[in-house]
């Protein structure tokens, strides 16, 4: 069912351009989320305003065919980011009114690794989506131990290569139901909808083997530490991260 939320903007008139219809200033951001069957599951406009706004910009016609979702519509920066959550595709449409529309960046993906970024992690923790993140029973925290050393000795280009290798190993090592996130500069988080320790260890093993194989082929040294946390009903995500971080350092 489409979720209708209260509007923080208002329609002054249905005449004129889209930019004149909506009261928001340069720098203001509008976010809407659609499911694959075009149901709106979140918007910071109300439902009617959201649909009229998107129709006015001509975005909905291109939603499912836009494979390069960084574009400009009528002097607005528009980012359409497809993401997978609970094995289902969703589309996040982010628009910002700008005097100059340039340097569009994807809001949910890390540019270096292609993994989800911290924005995505924080977003799925919020109540914006009809998904309960608490169903993900396990968490893997991965830290690159020697990134600073690589940056200091070989430069940041080599450091970016280390991050790309780790990111690729994570993408290759996790399952379709798992969520891989670049959480910080050298920290990665994986959410797994399973408390099965064997399955978790298999994922970690595949990631470690992938890192070792690619590091060897690139002739670089990559050292990582891994922490694992599984939850019960008393644990929240923050506590799980702390548990995994403690195990990582041990």
For residue range 211-243, what is the model confidence (pLDDT) as tens digits?
999 999 999 999 999 999 987 655 678 888 899
Non-local (6+) Cβ contacts of 117 within 8 A are: 108, 109, 110, 181, 182
Residue 70 class from Cβ within 10 Å (0-12 exposed, 13-18 middle, 19+ buried)?
middle
Highest mean pLDDT out of 2-6, 38-42, 232-236: 38-42
Q: Residue 67 sits in which domain range?
A: 18-107
How would residue 70 be classed by pLDDT, with cut points 50, 70 and 90? low
Q: What pLDDT sits at residue 88?
A: 81
236 and 147 fall within a common domain: yes
Asked if residue 12 belongs to a domain, the reply is no
The CA distance from 151 to 63, in Å, is 40
Residue 69 has pLDDT above 70, yes or no: no
Q: What pLDDT sits at residue 130?
A: 55
203 and 152 fall within a common domain: yes
Q: What pLDDT sits at residue 194?
A: 82
Q: What pLDDT sits at residue 103?
A: 44
How many domains would you assign to the chain?
Answer: 2
The mean-pLDDT minimum among 41-45, 47-51, 72-76, 169-173 falls in: 72-76
139 and 200 fall within a common domain: yes
Digit-coded pLDDT (tens) for 87-127: 788 888 877 765 544 444 456 788 899 898 988 888 777 65
Give the dihedral of Cα atoms 37, 41, 46, 47; nearest 10 deg: 20
81 and 160 fall within a common domain: no
23 and 100 fall within a common domain: yes
85 and 149 fall within a common domain: no
Q: What pLDDT sits at residue 87?
A: 77
Asked if residue 8 belongs to a domain, the reply is no
Asked if residue 149 belongs to a domain, the reply is yes
The CA distance from 163 to 142, in Å, is 11
Sheet of strand 138-144, all strands in order from the earlier edge strand to the far edge: 116-117, 179-182, 187-192, 138-144, 224-230
Asked if residue 231 belongs to a domain, the reply is yes
140 and 205 fall within a common domain: yes
Highest mean pLDDT out of 41-55, 65-79, 110-124, 136-150: 136-150
99 and 161 fall within a common domain: no
Residue 9: both structure tokens together: 């903007």
Asked if residue 121 belongs to a domain, the reply is no
Asked if residue 114 belongs to a domain, the reply is no
Looking at 91, 107, 123, the residue that finishes a domain is: 107
Asked if residue 1 belongs to a domain, the reply is no
72 and 139 fall within a common domain: no
196 and 152 fall within a common domain: yes
Residue 244 has pLDDT above 70, yes or no: yes
Q: What pLDDT sits at residue 207?
A: 97
Asked if residue 123 belongs to a domain, the reply is no
CB 143 within 8 A of CB 136: no
The CA distance from 38 to 245, in Å, is 39
102 and 146 fall within a common domain: no
Percent of the chain with pLDDT over 70: 72
């Amino acid at each position: 069912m489409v979720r209708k939320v209260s509007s923080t903007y208002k329609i002054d008139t249905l005449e004129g351009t889209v930019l004149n219809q909506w009261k928001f200033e340069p720098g203001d951001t509008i976010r809407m989320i659609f499911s694959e069957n075009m149901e709106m599951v979140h918007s910071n406009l109300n439902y009617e305003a959201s649909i009229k706004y998107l129709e006015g910009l001509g975005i909905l016609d291109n939603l499912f065919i836009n494979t390069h979702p960084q574009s400009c519509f009528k002097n607005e920066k528009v980012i359409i980011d497809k993401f997978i959550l609970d094995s289902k595709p969703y589309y996040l449409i982010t628009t910002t009114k700008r005097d100059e529309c340039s340097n569009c960046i994807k809001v949910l993906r890390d540019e270096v690794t292609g993994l989800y970024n911290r924005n995505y992690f924080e977003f799925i923790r919020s109540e914006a989506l009809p998904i309960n993140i608490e169903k993900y029973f396990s968490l893997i925290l991965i830290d690159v131990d020697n990134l600073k050393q690589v940056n200091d000795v070989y430069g940041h280009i080599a450091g970016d290569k280390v991050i790309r290798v780790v990111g690729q190993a994570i993408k290759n090592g996790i399952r379709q139901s798992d969520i891989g996130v670049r959480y910080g500069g050298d920290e990665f988080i994986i959410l797994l909808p399973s408390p099965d320790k064997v399955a978790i260890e298999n994922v970690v093993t595949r990631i470690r083997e992938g890192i070792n194989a690619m590091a060897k082929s690139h002739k670089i040294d990559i050292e990582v530490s891994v922490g694992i946390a599984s939850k019960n009903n008393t644990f929240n995500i923050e506590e799980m991260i702390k548990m995994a971080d403690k195990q990582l350092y041990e």
